[in-house]
C-alpha cells in the first residue's frame, strides 16, 4: 500500500522534518528541473523533502532573451516565478545567496542562515569567460540575464537619443555595435539588434537613417554556428549578410578599448558598444566551496553526476563537468541542463532507496536559432529546415517550454500585438 502524502501541494512542507532532505542550490534550468522531477517522483511518499535555494525568486527563460533586445517580448514575461511553482509541486523555496557548505555537518550557509541537507544538488550555473583579454570586463556588456538584455536595448536607445540631439554629428564608434562570439547567443543577439534598429526604432527617429548604424559579428572560428550542420551555417550567414551585418570569421579580440576593438591581426573596429558572448565558465562560487573542481569546467563528477569524494553531493548544469556516453563534455545549453536535472533527481532518489545511480546519457534533440522574428535555422532530430516555417516552429516550441501559463499567455500576446500594432520602445532610466 502506497503511503499517503502528508501535505497538500498548496501547503509549504516543513522541510527540516523529513527523513530525507534534498537541498537544490540554484534555480536555473538544471536546478528547477531537478526539484520538479524529485517532487513528481515522490508525490506518493512522505519521506523525502525538497528545497530550492536561489539568489532570485524567478528563473530566466534564456532562449527568448534576444527578444528583449529586439523589443519583441516584455522582459518581465521571461522571469518565471519559482516560489509558486515549487510550492504547488510540493517543495520549499528560499531566496538567499549561497555562502558556504559544511559537508561534515551536512549544512549550507546562506545569508547567515544554516540549512541542513541529506543530499545536496549543486546547480550554480555559469558566467562569462573573458580569457584574460584586456578591457573585456571593463568595456563589454555580457549577456547574463534579463537585466543585461534590457541594458543592451537601452544602450541602443541612448545612442539614438545622443545622435538625434547632436543632429547626427557623432563619431562612427558611437553608432557601431560589435558582438563578439559566433555561437547561437551571439548570432541571435546581432540579429535582434538589427531588428530593433531597422524595425522598432526606425519610425521614432526619422532623422537618423538605420544604415548609419553598423553591426559587426566577430567570431574566432572559421564559420559561425559551428555546432550546426554546415548547410544551415551557410544559410544563417547569407541571411545575416543580407541584413548588412558584417561578419568577421577567424578573428580574435586582442583588446577592447573604450572606443574600439583591437583584433589579433592588428585590425581595429571602431565601437563604443561591444557585447561579449564568446565564452562561458563555471560559477566562481565553486572557489569558495570545499569540492573538487576545474576552474572553467566546474565540479569534478562521476558518470552518475556525483561530486568525486562525496556520496551525497551532486553537480548538474553549467557548474559541473559532466560528459556524455562518449566522454565528450556536455554542452552548456538549456536542453542539456534540463536532462541533467531530471537525471540527477532519479539518481538522488535511487541513492535514498539504496539503489545505484545510473550513468548520465545526454541525448541532443537539435538546435533552434532565430535570426529575427521571421527567420530561423533549425535542426531537430536530424531534420534541417529554415525560413519563416522554422521561425514559427521556434516560437511554438519555446512557447510550449515556458513553464508558467501566465508567462506563456503574455509572451503570445506580445507576439500577437506586434502583428497588428507598432511596438512602443521606451527606456526607463533607473
Query: Mind listing the pLDDT tens digit for each residue in 79-133?
Result: 999 999 999 999 999 999 999 999 999 999 999 999 999 999 999 999 999 999 9
Q: In which element (H, E) is residue 122 found?
A: strand 119-122
Structural domains present in the chain: 15-55+96-128+281-352 (3.50.50.60), 136-278 (3.50.50.60)
pLDDT in tens, 121-153: 999 999 999 999 999 999 999 999 999 999 999
The arrangement of strands across the sheet holding 376-380 comes to 366-370, 376-380, 383-387
pLDDT, averaged in runs of 10, over the chain (430 residues): 52 78 98 98 93 96 96 94 93 97 98 97 96 97 95 97 94 97 97 96 92 97 96 98 98 98 98 96 96 94 97 98 87 94 98 96 94 95 96 97 92 91 78
- What b/e string do you get for 301-339 counting C-beta neighbours within 10 Å, with b at 16 or more? beebbbbeebebbbbbbbbbbbbbeeeeebbbbbbbbbb
Predicted model pTM: 0.93
Query: What size, in residues, is the chain?
Result: 430
What nine digits make up the cell of 33? 528541473
- What's residue 425's pLDDT? 82
- What's residue 8's pLDDT? 55
Closest Cα partner for 135 from 33, 254, 220? 254
What nine digits make up the cell of 342? 531530471
Concatenating the DSSP letter of every residue in 349-366 gives: HHHHTT--PPPP-----E
- What's residue 5's pLDDT? 55
> Cβ(122)–Cβ(25) under 8 Å?
yes
Residues pairing with 119 in the sheet: 22
Residues pairing with 93 in the sheet: 52
- What's residue 4's pLDDT? 53
Q: Strand 119-122 vs strand 313-315: parallel, antiparallel, or unpaired? A: parallel
- What's residue 205's pLDDT? 93
> Cβ(312)–Cβ(21) under 8 Å?
no
> Cβ(403)–Cβ(80) under 8 Å?
yes
How many Å apart are CA 82 and CA 80, to the nearest integer? 6
Amino acid at each position: 500500500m502506497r503511503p499517503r502524502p502528508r501535505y497538500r501541494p498548496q501547503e509549504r512542507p516543513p522541510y527540516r522534518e523529513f527523513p530525507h532532505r534534498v537541498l537544490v542550490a540554484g534555480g536555473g534550468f538544471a536546478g528547477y528541473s531537478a526539484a520538479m522531477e524529485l517532487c513528481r517522483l515522490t508525490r506518493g511518499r512522505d519521506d523525502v523533502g525538497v528545497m530550492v535555494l536561489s539568489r532570485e525568486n524567478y528563473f530566466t527563460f534564456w532562449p527568448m532573451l534576444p527578444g528583449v533586445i529586439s523589443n519583441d517580448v516584455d522582459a518581465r514575461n521571461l522571469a518565471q516565478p519559482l516560489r509558486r511553482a515549487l510550492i504547488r509541486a510540493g517543495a520549499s523555496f528560499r531566496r538567499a545567496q549561497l555562502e558556504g557548505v559544511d559537508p561534515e555537518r551536512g549544512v549550507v550557509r546562506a545569508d547567515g542562515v544554516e540549512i541542513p541537507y541529506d543530499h545536496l544538488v549543486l546547480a550554480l550555473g555559469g558566467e562569462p569567460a573573458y580569457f584574460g583579454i584586456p578591457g573585456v570586463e571593463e568595456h563589454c556588456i555580457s549577456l547574463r540575464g534579463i537585466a543585461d538584455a534590457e541594458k543592451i536595448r537601452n544602450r541602443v536607445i541612448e545612442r539614438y537619443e545622443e545622435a538625434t540631439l547632436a543632429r547626427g554629428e557623432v563619431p562612427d564608434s558611437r553608432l557601431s555595435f560589435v558582438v563578439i562570439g559566433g555561437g547561437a547567443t551571439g548570432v541571435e543577439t546581432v540579429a535582434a539588434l538589427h531588428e530593433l534598429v531597422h524595425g522598432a526604432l526606425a519610425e521614432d527617429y526619422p532623422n537618423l537613417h538605420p544604415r548609419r548604424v553598423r553591426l559587426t559579428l566577430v567570431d574566432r572560428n572559421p564559420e559561425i554556428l559551428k555546432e550546426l550542420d554546415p548547410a544551415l551555417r551557410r544559410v544563417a550567414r547569407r541571411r545575416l549578410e543580407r541584413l548588412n551585418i558584417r561578419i568577421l570569421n577567424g578573428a580574435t579580440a586582442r583588446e577592447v578599448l573604450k572606443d574600439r576593438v583591437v583584433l589579433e591581426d592588428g585590425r581595429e573596429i571602431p565601437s563604443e558598444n561591444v557585447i561579449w558572448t564568446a565564452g562561458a565558465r563555471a560559477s566562481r562560487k565553486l572557489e569558495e566551496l570545499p569540492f573538487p573542481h576545474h576552474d572553467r569546467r566546474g565540479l569534478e563528477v562521476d558518470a552518475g553526476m556525483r561530486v568525486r569524494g562525496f556520496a551525497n553531493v551532486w553537480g548538474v548544469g553549467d557548474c559541473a563537468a559532466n560528459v556524455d556516453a562518449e566522454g565528450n563534455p556536455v554542452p552548456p545549453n538549456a536542453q542539456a541542463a534540463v536532462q541533467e536535472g531530471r537525471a540527477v533527481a532519479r539518481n538522488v532518489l535511487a541513492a535514498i532507496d539504496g539503489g545505484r545511480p545510473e550513468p548520465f546519457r545526454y541525448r541532443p534533440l537539435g538546435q533552434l536559432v532565430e535570426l529575427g522574428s521571421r527567420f530561423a535555422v533549425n535542426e531537430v532530430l536530424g531534420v534541417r529546415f529554415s525560413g519563416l516555417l522554422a521561425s514559427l516552429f521556434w516560437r511554438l516550441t519555446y512557447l510550449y517550454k515556458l513553464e508558467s501559463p501566465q508567462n506563456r499567455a503574455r509572451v503570445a500576446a506580445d507576439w500577437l500585438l506586434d502583428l497588428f500594432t507598432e511596438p512602443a520602445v521606451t527606456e526607463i532610466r533607473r
